[in-house]
Amino acid sequence: MKILFLTSRLPWPPDRGDRVRTYHFLRVMAEAHDVTLLSFADGSAPPGSREALRGLGARVVTVPRRRSVSAAQMARAFPSREPFQVAYYRSSEMKLRVRELAADSDVVVAHLLRMAPYLAEAPARTRRIVDLCDCISSEYVASLPHRSAAGRWFYGMEARRMAPQERAAVDLWDEAWVISEAEVAKLGLTTRPENLHIVPNGVTVPDGNEMRGTPASAAGKSAAGKSVSGGPAGGTTPARIIFTGHFGVPHNIDAAQVLVNEVLPLVRRDVAATVELAGASPIPAVRELGGAHVEVTGWVDDLFARLARADVFVAPLRFVAGVQNKILEAMAAGCPVVTTDAVRRGLGAEAGRELLVGETPTEIAAHAVALLKDPDRARALGDAGRDFVRTRFAWETVLDRLEAPRPR
């Protein structure tokens, strides 16, 4: 099967949600089929990106994009109802390349709504698929209370433009993919619901002893002869709380600030604890969170090793869409997770069994303290979470969908 895969940016490095999904889709598809990746390039990808992606077995073709031109196109979209991100990625050269490369393709997959208009350049005989991934308009609406006045104005407008276009994409193309049942519900009614399919993210589950190292709580008990529940002045090895993600995106920035400024002080009333913020591209506002009890690491080479050393993964994410890869990774490592119900709904996990849920800093802190004081419960929760992701989330699901008979 010849597949043309359209992305708005090169999926390298796979260090944030959209690039993780597109990277692994490309990897899995290229293992079984003839795949061409067609992507915009604006010079922001690190050296060696194309070579790394070609190493997966795919052909890589890029179309140059100037940010100044894209910004001007977005500005000109103000009087219209076109989503700004669609206008931002509009390109006559991309249209021509899609038309050329789709001519002998069997399937064309466009990642995200912003790339969906290019499906019109593919022959009608091809199977044309838009991977919406998440209901982005819903995430924008959920984020509004946590944004500045200017942010509320802009993202409120973009949400109103995106919502009808997301539903229209389901009806217009042969298939539309989303990441979970929760995103199906957020999209609402469409005239062709049979076009909508769930294609989840995947996660690599380490084997056996790779899962968990020696958490700080266990180390503290062994070395000091007592648990970490003695409070901040107890003189024991502090418990490790970890939160991971790309710290250049709003929902992760907001969650990091809530964790450090609101959750951690509550935890430290009962338990000696530190926070590690591990992930790429921390903006200055995140770096400034570092201090005596907070480490901001930036990019880490071995994320699972960090998760293995942690006692609990705390993710006070107040506005999200879809399935959060960071949560899948923590659960795959057997690290017990405390997060919000918005995250739980995206996963389809059971609160109290596979993870713990809180909506306020007080609730989240109480759950974290309870796990830090009860290592057996924490271990059981981590084991249940690992079993959950092992049985539910595999990247190979995308092949099942692509190789299914074409809908009539």
Q: Strands, E, within 179-292: which ranges?
A: 196-198, 239-244, 273-278
Per-residue pLDDT tens digits for 360-391: 999 999 999 999 999 999 999 999 999 999 98
Q: What is the CA radius of gyration of the chain?
A: 22
Residue 239: its pLDDT value, please? 97
- Mean pLDDT of the region 248-256: 95
Which pTM was predicted? Answer: 0.84
Using the predicted structure, report yes or no on whether residue 232 has a pLDDT greater than 80: no
Fold of domain 2-202+394-402: Rossmann fold (3.40.50)
Residue 228: its pLDDT value, please? 44
Q: Place 215 in a pLDDT band, splitting at 50, 70 and 90.
A: low
Residue 43: its pLDDT value, please? 86
CATH 3.40.50.2000 residue window(s) in the chain: 2-202+394-402, 208-392
Stretch (H or E) spanning 132: strand 127-133
Q: Strands, E, within 256-355: which ranges?
A: 273-278, 294-298, 312-315, 337-339
Q: Place 189 in a pLDDT band, splitting at 50, 70 and 90.
A: confident
Average pLDDT score, the chain: 91
Q: Place 213 in a pLDDT band, splitting at 50, 70 and 90.
A: low
Measure the N-to-C terminal CA separation of the chain; round to a whole number of Å: 19
Q: How many CB atoms lie within 10 A of CB 155?
A: 20
Residue 241: its pLDDT value, please? 99
What is the greatest pairwise CA distance in the chain?
Answer: 70
Calculate the CA 305 to chain-centre distance: 20
Q: Place 208 in a pLDDT band, splitting at 50, 70 and 90.
A: low
Using the predicted structure, report yes or no on whether residue 301 has a pLDDT greater than 90: no
SS3 3: strand
Give percent above pLDDT 90 in the chain.
82
Query: Taking CA 182 as the corner, what is the angle to CA 338 and CA 87, rounded to the nearest 5 degrees?
Result: 110
208-392 belongs to which homologous superfamily? Glycogen Phosphorylase B; (3.40.50.2000)
From 38-47, 197-206, 346-355, 399-408, the region with the lowest mean pLDDT: 399-408
DSSP per-residue letters across 27-83:
HHHHHHSEEEEEEEE-S-SPTTHHHHHHTTT-EEEEEE--HHHHHHHHHHTTTSSS-
Residue 231: its pLDDT value, please? 46
Residue 45: its pLDDT value, please? 85
